[in-house]
Amino acid sequence: MRSCSVAVVLALASCDGAITLEIAGDRPIPRTLSSICVGIADTEAIGGHLGQLYQLTGELATLPQTLRVDPGRASRAYLWVRGDRGGVPVTYATTTTSFDGDVRIALDRCPLGRGGAPSPMGDAVGPASARLVTSHGSGNIVVALGVEATIIDAAGGKATAVAGPALPAGTIVAAIAVDVDGDCDDDVIVASDAEAPIVWRRDHRNFTVGAPLDSGPQAALAAADIDHDGDLDLVTGIGSTLSLWYNDGAGRFTLDVDDLESNGRVSSVRALALGDVDVDGNADLIVGQSGGPLTAWLGGPNGLFVENDGVVPPVPLAVAALSLADADGDVDLDPDLVVAVRDAPMRLYIDREGQLEDQSFVRLPQPAPIASAIAVASWDAGRCEPDALAAGSESLALHGEPDAFTVEAMLGAANDVVMIDLDEDGDLDAVLATPEGVRWLAR
Amino acid sequence: MARALIILAHAAIVVGLLFGAARADTAADAQAIEKFLAKGQALFVDQEYAAAIQALSPVTRDARATRAQRLRALEIVALAHFIRGDEGSARATFERILDIDPGYQLRDTSGSPKIRAFFDELKKQLIPNYDPNAGADLEHAAPTAGTAARVIELEVRATRGSERVFEIIVATRRRGELAYRFIGALPRGDGKWRARVTPRPSSKPYVLEYYVEARDAGGAPIARIAAPDTPLEIALAAGGGDKTPWYGRWYVIGGAAVVAAGITGLVIVANSGPGPGTLPPGSVTVSP
């Protein structure tokens, strides 16, 4: 047994096939990383699946952390980690192992990608002009919601497509990835204009249709651990109504009427984003409308949202989509607001001490891109600054510089874009929804 | 082990230097922007409007500039365009100001009714329900007494015009001092803000003077409670002592951090390997 210990310290496989999974990273804890969800699954669908959320407090308030992983009957396994900040998933890392050596997964503040220009990998697959949702777990996949639901994966350097669950009735208006049952893989919630949002539970690389929310149709969705009980809760919105749904940990959502009230501040909810804007460890809510002003609610430690007029300039915008993600690569990695505006230039609001400041003119190439969807993440081998992809009639790859984005490449027409390590090679890829189908881009 | 401690000590020193460098960079950035602003302002006052636009345009595009600095530069550029008769450029620049702060109020002290009318008309077109008679009213609650070196909380509420308040500043000083220290209050929603002031330690009682100022996104004051010349007072009991305690000195903290990091590193090294990991339950089996 002692000889096995020495072998693992030297980063060799132990004599019984067990390996050590090391989760590392240089993100300050808990300011930029408050919890991690560690998932391990046999690559065979009939094999085991383990998922566990760890709050990075007390003895776990530092990285690296380790876990001994015994393969049992598995010959190969997926290993992945989701990093949360203030209850909001903000970073992912995925790899695979054949149990032939220890594995290190890093949640670094500055994940660099590969050099070279982005280029298409294989042909477009799946439905045309789809809405895209990423799903991390037993392999990274993208769910494309078009005339039908399709699961997009990568194999042999090409994108592949298999049929997904049946779509709900009506037109799909929103969809998000959210781990509803605490197994660390991303389930999907789909909202249509005809039915209540419905949960699609992920099982290995497929989805099964679960229960709908006890509500009418909703126009926008966002998820975060609002009450800090270890599971991801849900905020929905439509018209002048915002609703908070607490998760019981098993994926059953209960409406809470006390902790979030719209108070007449919104009239046409179109998009929602949750992120810890004021860096107090709680998820804050930004609401985008179809022509009304951006509005914000600050989250508290007990789940209570308090409206706040000072967070974001109340400029009326016809919001198409919005997201909170680090866009300026500053040291605290606080979430900046990226807004796709219908038929108008995109907006970029930089988080400065909890206030989102419009720096569109300063940081975006002029004229700013008109986009229907925007993804922000580091995916080149250059500097640490995040890059961006803007999907529109002329989609753009934007390269992040210290103080601004510059145009790196023109990518053709697309209506949606996401970034995910689709082939699990350790580098982010881009996936665009185009009129020809779903296209995978990699460097 | 000695080598590990040396490496950790070096790491601690590098981290310290990096933090120091970052703070120095920030201060240098602010000073550089202020120089541009001062130059542009002087050119504007001298009626060198084209030169003022040229001098200030970099500030409006400089990501290092704070929101207040950018708004100041934009306003001068817009005014310069307007005075030169280039209403198109003036309008575009004013629109950038209103994108950043829909409640922005001109700081222009010329009193020109033409400029104000132009800006107000633009605001009416761009900002729904714009009220030219904007401003804000504040009220606050603060203790009448406290202890030096212990936190004092002040609650401030904007009873009118809260949507125009982007920043609440609490300025404090020890009676007898000329300069104020400024502390930003944190927004609490519903027009409420809270500031946490830690008065300097003192072995003797003293009086803390303060005033509260609400600012718009351009950094311009739009409301005050008391004023620099007529501050309010909080009587403080002695507390904390005048000198930094031994455990607060940088070399003590640094040394402790190095020792703690070394111990942590040794614990991690000792725990790695085929034994249970550090995450509960320590060991898992993928497919039993």
What is the pTM (predicted TM-score) of this model? 0.69
Cis peptide preceding B128, ω within 30 of 0: no
- Compute the average pLDDT of residues A151-168: 95
Distance CA A13, CA A104 (A): 13
Question: Which range scores top for mean pLDDT: A9-23, A234-248, B143-157?
Answer: A234-248
Strands (DSSP E) along A282-335, which ranges?
A: 284-293, 295-299, 305-308, 316-325
Please indicate whether, in this complex, the C-beta atoms of A5 and B165 are within 8 angstroms of each other: no
Q: In this structure, which amino acid lies at residue A355?
A: Q
A214 has a chain B CB within 8 A of its CB: no
Q: Is the pLDDT of residue B67 over 90?
A: no
Question: Pick the residue with more confidence: A55 or B69?
Answer: A55
Q: Please, what is the Cα angle at A246 between A227 and B192, to 5 degrees?
A: 50
Give the least confident one: A47-51, A74-78, A310-314.
Answer: A310-314
Q: Minimum mean pLDDT among A3-7, B44-48, B57-61: which range?
A: A3-7
Read off the pLDDT of each residue in A93-117 and give the average, rounded to a whole number. Answer: 89
**DSSP summary character for residue B43:** H
Q: Is A59 helix (H, G, I), strand (E, B) or coil?
A: helix
Q: Which of B60, B99, B274 sits opposite A68 (nearest CB)?
A: B274
pLDDT band at A16 (very low <50, low <70, confident <90, very high): low
* pLDDT for B230 beyond 80: no
**A47: nearest CB among B167, B284, B287:** B287
User: Which residues of chain B neighbour A7 with C-beta distances below 8 Å?
Assistant: 274
> Tokens representing B228?
């620099």
User: In angstroms, rounded to a whole number, what is the distance separating the alpha carbons of residues A198 and B175?
Assistant: 63
Q: Could you give the angle at the alpha carbon of A9 between the alpha carbons of A112 and A103, nearest 5°?
A: 35
Q: How many CA atoms lie within 13 A of B223 on its CB side?
A: 23
Q: What whole-number distance in Å separates Cα of residue A137 and Cα of residue A82?
A: 9
Write the residue in A9, A23, A359 that is nearest to B63 by C-beta: A359
Q: Dihedral of CA A25/A30/A33/A34: which sign?
A: positive
d(CA A69, CA A48): 12
**Cβ contact (<8 Å) for A403 and B63?**
yes
Residue B260 has pLDDT above 90, yes or no: no
As a whole number, mean pLDDT of residues A191-210 equals 96
Higher pLDDT, A424 or A188: A188
B192: helix, coil or strand? strand
Q: What is the mean predicted confidence (pLDDT) over A385-406? A: 93
Does A212 have pLDDT greater than 90? yes
Q: Is A330 helix (H, G, I), strand (E, B) or coil?
A: coil
User: Which tens digit of pLDDT belongs to each residue from B167-190?
Assistant: 898 999 888 777 788 888 888 878
Question: How many Å lie between the alpha carbon of A41 and the closest alpha carbon of chain B?
Answer: 6
What mean pLDDT value characterizes chain B?
77
pLDDT score, position B120:
83
State the pLDDT at residue B111.
Answer: 66
Tell me which of A200 and B153 has the higher pLDDT: A200
Residue A394 has pLDDT above 80, yes or no: yes
Query: What is the distance in angstroms between the Cα of B132 and the nearest Cα belonging to chain A?
Result: 17
In the predicted model, what is the mean pLDDT of residues B196-225? 83
Query: Which residues are CB-contacts of A340 (< 8 A; sequence separation ≥ 6)?
Result: A319, A320, A321, A322, A346, A371, A372, A373, A374, A390
Q: Tell me the C-alpha distance between B222 and B214, whole Å.
A: 6
Q: pLDDT band at B132, cuts 50/70/90?
A: low
- The C-alpha atoms of residue A327 and residue A359 are separated, in whole angstroms, by 11
Cis peptide preceding B231, ω within 30 of 0: no
Task: Identify the burial level of B50 via C-beta atoms within 10 angstroms of its C-beta, where 0-12 means exposed, 13-18 middle and 19 or more buried.
Answer: exposed
Q: How far is B185 from chain A (nearest CA, A)?
A: 11
3-class secondary structure, B112: coil
Mean pLDDT (whole number) for A231-254: 96
Q: Which residues of A touch B101 (CB under 8 A)?
A: 313
pLDDT tier, B99 (very low <50, low <70, confident <90, very high otherwise): confident
Alpha helix stretches (DSSP H) within A388-437: none
- CA separation, residue A316 to residues A268, A292, A341, B135 (Å): 11, 5, 10, 21
User: Considering only A260-274, B31-45, B107-121, which range has the smallest mean pLDDT?
Assistant: B107-121
Residue A191 tokens, joined: 């909202």
Pairing of strands B283-287, A65-72: parallel
**Touching check for A69 and chain B: CB below 8 Å?**
yes
Quote helix, strand, coil % in chain B, to nearest 5: 45, 25, 30
Percent of all residues in chain A with a pLDDT value above 90, rounded to a whole number: 82
Contact B81, B90 (CB under 8 A): yes
